Structure 1
């Protein structure tokens, strides 16, 4: 097995480097980058033509790799330019926009999404583009295709105020949404004609199927799971059910992913052999399978994992039509390059990262685990294969899961062994229900069967949740730790193919570098530091003094602490319930903190230090930014970190 045999796997790293470069501050202008890229390809073509004539003077592959880097940077810059163009919506007096989704019920309003078509600014209408997340209170509801006139400009979604807080702005930006607005009833429906075209056809079809599932499935909780499992609609999931599936380690089955596409693919491929079709008819049938896969992908919203799986199974099917078996590594890399070309920001999505890591784990690690035991009975072999797939996927993805979510499901293996087979059966019933649910008797029967199957699956997930120690939470891992785990796994996977001496030295090097990084971080950890967190109306202080953690809360509620404060405490390995920071209230109304060298004026939101701190940082756009050290500090805008 040679690395040169996987061309797309060789191309992918260079495209990724280009995207990271394009998103950095050091990338050149879009026009300059385009000209350089064209020149690179012209020189490359000239060198290739000379190579064919036997007059090669330079290896053209290096130019091709450089061109891929510039191509990735161009994709990233083009995406940024689209974002910059849409910002003109902020300066409009009013705008016309088209509704692109169905209403989502919220506690006091309805949520929907608008696609801006034109804006009114400086006394004239002009074309514009951009997406606005709106909240309205129109009881009649909005439907895809409706055109609205909104008389006020939207607001830009604010960045998180506190360190490591969930970045809702970035989450929406990955979907191309940069603005939101509460419009209440202050808008006018200019055109109520239903939207036309393939996109609106899919939106309406998804909505109709969802409504049909709700009517055909008698159990309400089962209907919620069906919407999530079959259509990827998780917004209506009950929090208790969501927690049960999370602790069982099978939350991935409720997010439409490669697993679901694989089940649909297997369903149609298994039918092929009994049909005994001739060669030409078999090819037509396989083309039909590809169409079904992509129809399902579009129907469920084209999530990264679904697109990856649909691309992979399409390429495998094309290979089957040509009686060839393409490399799984090439297919993975090609699908990643395709998705990055369409949307370069997809590489930052957790679903994209977890999806590709899981497949890589199954391809590289699962055969090694599988060979550790060879069961004699078919049932044991099936259970062992399912176990090895779960172990391989979990081994590779757990560092990233801990990095993002700080939770590890203890009983993931039990959950996968019990719930995944049920999910497979549910899909076998659910897909026919989606297709034939409108037939009265058949639809009712399939709905009842699906409801019973999902009730059983929910019962299993809830039973696992009730087992003590169902999850390990508040876990952390740094980037160096993830690199160490993945490096060791790669070494294990390559042990039989590479030089064992070199691989052993590589493992020792990784461990040494990780240990050095950990020691450096520990030595440079400050002995005394203060964090000031911002709530909606007040502040909370966390003060670290030689390993002892103290806290003072001005009025943040438990939910707000969990959302805004706890993420930083997890990153710092601090307790969820630190000691109280003792305070003495002075006659002036100022608060004097006894174990710390500062006081606080709640009225003017001002910190006063006995002496200037070593350094002060403010939280801005996902990182700490150094500020001038001073004796006083206004703390009414964002989070601050003060080192003494």
Structure 2
């Protein structure tokens, strides 16, 4: 196996580098890299006819991919809505994007702004608003509604390492949210005619049919997620059960689901002796079904990746060739990045491609460690090898984003994946034949029983000890080290073992040096002041001991506001309460740290403020502040390093 045999895999890193370079702050018109890209393409074509130097042509190819990544990212950024030029300050007209999502006290939906009111005229505008309404008539995709009050901007995360909900939505061009109650008017109740809206209507009809044929609310929720990719309706307990068991991936429509669909379709023609022309026509039909299913499920990154991969495999059958899985994987990634460069920052994209890469590279190495003689044992071992390989590749990302590791993932996957395979085998016929009343009820009943069995299995994992290891953290350097070692393992039989061992030693030394430097600069004593709208929280870290005081921060908010900073600093200890004395109606004195606070005003003062370096959490980093006599903890978090 030679790296040169995988052209798309060779070009992918340069495309990624171009995207990353565009995020460094270079503000130039997107036309400039386009002109450079066209010039490079012309040069490549000219030299391909004249020159026989593969090195020169390869270099030009890599440079083209770098410029292409830079251009696509810059174009995507500059074509996104500029909210500063058309702020929504008054009434606006918007188009409904989805069907309503039921919330405890309202309905959630997404609007795309079409016009905003400015003085006495309507101006064309763009952008999206997350709304909550209480209308008796549910909204449908494609409807135009008129809202008379302006929305509010989604607030930024103000506490250290808190989940950046504003940034998460901004990547989807959602900058505003609004509770509109019944304060809107439909001005065009006709549904949209675009293909996307048409597929949304079909998805809704399919969802209604599945709910009518499958008994049990939780079973219905899981069926919608498994078959249609609709995870929004999953309740918190169901999500937690799948997450803690380490099988959340089965709820994301991906290669497992698309593969089962393609497998069923190809199995149907296996016994038939079709002519070459008839077989090609059938395979083209399979391609159309793959992409119809992808659109039906919402075109998530994992679905697109799986659809591109199985489309290329199907095209390979059309040409009676088997394309390289590495080229397929890289080509699908290149397509997605070209159309949406910001997709590389989505967790789903990262987990999806990392899992498949791990399975392709590591699974064969694990599988060959044991060759069972029994067919049943061989199937179970192959399934275990796939689960272990995917987990080895993805657990650094899981720990980085979610700070937890499912200890029973292997057993859970061994039980849930085969069961999910059977559920999908019944679910696909139900989606096709469920409209026939009697047959739909029978298939739905059997499918409901299987889904209840899966729920029972997952609920059983909650009873096991040490379901998950929490409070984990990992640095980017440690992630890269783990992936590097996995790559070295995969390359063990193809390259010089001396070179691999030397590279491994260099990586360990570099990683150790970086961690040693970080430990030297890690504050041994610090006080962190967390803020919410009308409450505050203090953490005081000293001598490996954590002491805290909570003033009116709700318990359900602690995991989102306080826990991320504790995980980042590796404060994996139970906090002790700070000793405080209330000297007046709202004045509290903490003698251990020599600090006073006017609790109802979020105002701190005392000698502690002058004993160390004061920093403010701003734009995702700690930034130095001037020393002050008092500290107002509102709208921002602060810390003092001693």
CA contact 1:613–1:631 (8 Å) conserved in 2: no
CA contact 1:90–1:153 (8 Å) conserved in 2: no
Runs of at least 5 residues in structure 2 that lack an aligned partner in the other structure: none
Question: Cα distance, 1:176 vs. partner?
Answer: 2.9
Q: Does 1:20 align with 2:17?
A: no
Question: Cα distance, 1:153 vs. partner?
Answer: 2.3
Distance 1:335 1:146 in 2: 34
Distance 1:394 1:383 in 2: 16
Question: Cα distance, 1:87 vs. partner?
Answer: 4.5
CA contact 1:535–1:560 (8 Å) conserved in 2: no
CA contact 1:613–1:630 (8 Å) conserved in 2: no
Distance 2:257 2:31 in 1: 42
Distance 2:533 2:275 in 1: 68
Q: Which residue of 2 aligns with 1:110?
A: 107
Q: Which residue of 1 aligns with 2:622?
A: 624
Aligned to 1:112, the other structure's residue is in SS state: strand
- Among 207, 232, 235, the residue aligned to 1:235: 232
CA contact 1:89–1:154 (8 Å) conserved in 2: no
Q: Which residue of 1 aligns with 2:562?
A: 565
Distance 1:192 1:461 in 2: 43
Distance 2:494 2:595 in 1: 61
Question: Cα distance, 1:89 vs. partner?
Answer: 4.3
Question: Cα distance, 1:241 vs. partner?
Answer: 2.4
CA contact 2:15–2:68 (8 Å) conserved in 1: yes
CA contact 1:90–1:155 (8 Å) conserved in 2: no
Q: Does 1:267 align with 2:264?
A: yes
Aligned to 1:274, the other structure's residue is in SS state: coil
Question: Cα distance, 1:41 vs. partner?
Answer: 3.3
Aligned to 2:548, the other structure's residue is in SS state: strand
Q: Does 1:553 align with 2:533?
A: no
Q: Which residue of 2 aligns with 1:341?
A: 338
Question: Cα distance, 1:200 vs. partner?
Answer: 1.3
Q: Which residue of 2 aligns with 1:391?
A: 388
Question: Cα distance, 1:35 vs. partner?
Answer: 3.3
Post-superposition Cα deviations, 1:333-352, rounded to whole Å, max 9, x if no partner, equal 11001001111111011110
Aligned to 1:549, the other structure's residue is in SS state: strand
Question: Cα distance, 1:589 vs. partner?
Answer: 5.1
Distance 1:176 1:215 in 2: 35
CA contact 1:613–1:629 (8 Å) conserved in 2: no
CA contact 2:528–2:638 (8 Å) conserved in 1: yes
Question: Cα distance, 1:609 vs. partner?
Answer: 4.3
- Among 59, 67, 70, the residue aligned to 2:67: 70
CA contact 1:27–1:73 (8 Å) conserved in 2: no
Post-superposition Cα deviations, 1:519-570, rounded to whole Å, max 9, x if no partner, equal 1111111121111111242100101112211101111111011221111112
Q: Does 1:8 align with 2:5?
A: no
Distance 2:95 2:584 in 1: 58
Alignment of 1:248-397 (within 5 A): 248-397=245-394
Post-superposition Cα deviations, 1:13-69, rounded to whole Å, max 9, x if no partner, equal 1111111111221353434333333343344444444316xxx79924323322322
CA contact 1:598–1:609 (8 Å) conserved in 2: yes
Q: Which residue of 1 aligns with 2:460?
A: 463
Distance 2:176 2:573 in 1: 34
CA contact 2:145–2:186 (8 Å) conserved in 1: yes
CA contact 1:89–1:130 (8 Å) conserved in 2: no
Q: Which residue of 2 aligns with 1:580?
A: 577
Aligned to 1:195, the other structure's residue is in SS state: coil
Q: Which residue of 2 aligns with 1:168?
A: 165
Runs of at least 5 residues in structure 1 that lack an aligned partner in the other structure: none
Q: Which residue of 2 aligns with 1:640?
A: 638
Alignment of 1:490-505 (within 5 A): 490-505=487-502
Post-superposition Cα deviations, 1:206-241, rounded to whole Å, max 9, x if no partner, equal 011111111111222211111111111122223222
For normalisation by structure 2, the TM-score amounts to: 0.96
CA contact 1:409–1:471 (8 Å) conserved in 2: yes
Distance 1:48 1:631 in 2: 70
CA contact 2:533–2:635 (8 Å) conserved in 1: no
Distance 2:573 2:165 in 1: 23
Deviates more, 1:531-540 or 1:20-29: 20-29
Post-superposition Cα deviations, 1:452-490, rounded to whole Å, max 9, x if no partner, equal 111111111111221111111111111111111111111
Question: Cα distance, 1:257 vs. partner?
Answer: 1.7
CA contact 1:358–1:396 (8 Å) conserved in 2: yes
Q: Which residue of 2 aligns with 1:538?
A: 535
CA contact 2:546–2:576 (8 Å) conserved in 1: yes
CA contact 1:14–1:69 (8 Å) conserved in 2: yes
**RMSD between superposed Cα atoms in Å:** 1.9
Distance 2:193 2:319 in 1: 37
Aligned to 2:274, the other structure's residue is in SS state: coil
CA contact 1:90–1:154 (8 Å) conserved in 2: no
Aligned to 1:129, the other structure's residue is in SS state: coil
Question: Cα distance, 1:414 vs. partner?
Answer: 0.8
Deviates more, 1:179-188 or 1:167-176: 167-176
- Among 418, 435, 459, the residue aligned to 1:438: 435
- Among 466, 477, 481, the residue aligned to 2:478: 481
CA contact 2:614–2:625 (8 Å) conserved in 1: yes
Post-superposition Cα deviations, 1:402-438, rounded to whole Å, max 9, x if no partner, equal 1111111111111111111110010011111111111
Question: Cα distance, 1:613 vs. partner?
Answer: 4.7
